[in-house]
Amino acid sequence: MAEVKVKLQPPDADPVEIENRIIELCHQFPHGITDQVIQNEMPHIEAQQRAVAINRLLSMGQLDLLRSNTGLLYRIKDSQNAGKMKGSDNQEKLVYQIIEDAGNKGIWSRDIRYKSNLPLTEINKILKNLESKKLIKAVKSVAASKKKVYMLYNLQPDRSVTGGAWYSDQDFESEFVEVLNQQCFKFLQTKAETARESKQNPMIQRNSSFASSHEVWKYICELGISKVELSMEDIETILNTLIYDGKVEMTIIAAKEGTVGSVDGHMKLYRAVNPIIPPTGLVRAPCGLCPVFDDCHEGGEISPSNCIYMTEWLDF
């Protein structure tokens, strides 16, 4: 008997079967599967049939196509999401994809236009559509108040957009900052006072008048005057404003990794200080603070002889 070349008929040449097998595989590997994996699993299917099956799944919206450094990945799409987009067309899906990629920083409408190459009118229509479907939302940026960034509906906006702990609804909370400012200063001041009164040798006195940023942060948290949770960086920005007020000085010391409050091997220490000179002589005379100083000359409307500020000051 001559050898008959038997061409094994693939048992599941049915396209639906192929698709189901692929979907099963995707469920097995939720992170995604490469083309290689599918080939290994079903070696008897030709490449063309595989491609057709995958394309069908993609167009039905059940598979996601991703690119990784090893090649193309196929991932099962979230069934919930798959249902959402049923009614939208490809353009909307593209825009939605772009917004999703922007994460919680959001993306501006002009950037969406660049990325998708769609005309402005189309973009606006799509954005309105998506908003009405409650898939995306617009968040006003604190940096430029007219600019609106779009992000997914259920995401929390990032700090850089809302301004972080110091902004509440786009308003800078100056009173809050002031209160924190005074509290930190009072804490440092009392620390310096107790150190000064302890009357030990000067090294110990000085070292005990220092407070690390961690200590101040703990004190403020314990005070509980802030509704928002404050991080150590926030407290450091407040302490920096005290430095710019000239009330506090800072030194950086090297600290071992692992000691409380150290960041990258160094710690910041703060200390309350007094100004080095009392208010200077010029400001004790009325001329030093006079708003019309440049207009004042003898014989004019405003002159030293008839200066009302001087008269008031002399009567004081």
Partner 1 sequence: MTQAEIKLCSLLLQEHFGEIVEKIGVHLIRTGSQPLRVIVHDTKTSLDQVKKALCVLIQHNLVTYQVHRRGTVEYEAQCSRVLRMLRYPRYIYTAKTLYSDTGELIVEELLLNGKMTMSALVKRVADRLTETMEDGKTMDYAEVSSTFVRLADTHFVQRCPLVSPAENAEPGPPQPAPTLVISEKDMYLVPKLSLIGKGKRRRSSEEDAPGEPKAKRLKHSADNKEPIPDDGIYWQANLDRFHQHFRDQAIVSAVANRMDQTSSEIVRTMLRMSEITTPSSAPFTQPLSSNEIFRSLPTGYNISKQVLDQYLTLLADDPLQFVGKSGDSGGGTYVINLHKVLGSLATATLESVVQERFGSRCARIFRLVLQKKHLEQKQVEDFAMIPAKEAKDMLYKMLSENFILLQEIPKTPDHAPSRTFYLYTVNILSAARMLLHRCYRSIANLIERRQFETKENKRLLEKSQRVEAIIASMQATGAEEAQLQEIEEMITAPERQQIETLKRNVNKLDASEIQVDETIFLLESYIESNMKRQ
- Residues forming contacts to partner 1 in the complex (CB under 8 A) are 166, 172, 174, 177, 196, 201-203, 206, 237-238, 240-241, 243-246, 249, 251, 273-285, 287-289, 293, 296, 298, 303-305, 307, 310, 314
Closest CB to partner 1 among residues 5, 227: 227
Q: How far is the CB of 184 from partner 1 (least distance, A)?
A: 12
Closest CB to partner 1 among residues 1, 203: 203
Measured on CA atoms in the order 118, 124, 127, 132, is the torsion positive or negative?
negative
Closest CB to partner 1 among residues 66, 225: 225
Closest CB to partner 1 among residues 47, 276: 276
Closest CB to partner 1 among residues 80, 201: 201
Q: How far is the CB of 113 from partner 1 (least distance, A)?
A: 22
Q: How far is the CB of 199 from partner 1 (least distance, A)?
A: 10
Q: How far is the CB of 301 from partner 1 (least distance, A)?
A: 15
Q: What does the radius of gyration of the chain's CA atoms come to, in whole angstroms?
A: 35
**Contact (Cβ atoms closer than 8 angstroms) between residue 60 and residue 94:** no
Using CB atoms within 10 A of its CB, is residue 101 exposed (0-12), middle (13-18) or buried (19+)?
exposed
Q: How far is the CB of 261 from partner 1 (least distance, A)?
A: 21
Closest CB to partner 1 among residues 80, 280: 280
Q: How far is the CB of 295 from partner 1 (least distance, A)?
A: 12
Closest CB to partner 1 among residues 91, 237: 237
Q: How far is the CB of 241 from partner 1 (least distance, A)?
A: 5
CA distances from 6 to 11, 42, 46, 257 (A): 14, 19, 17, 72
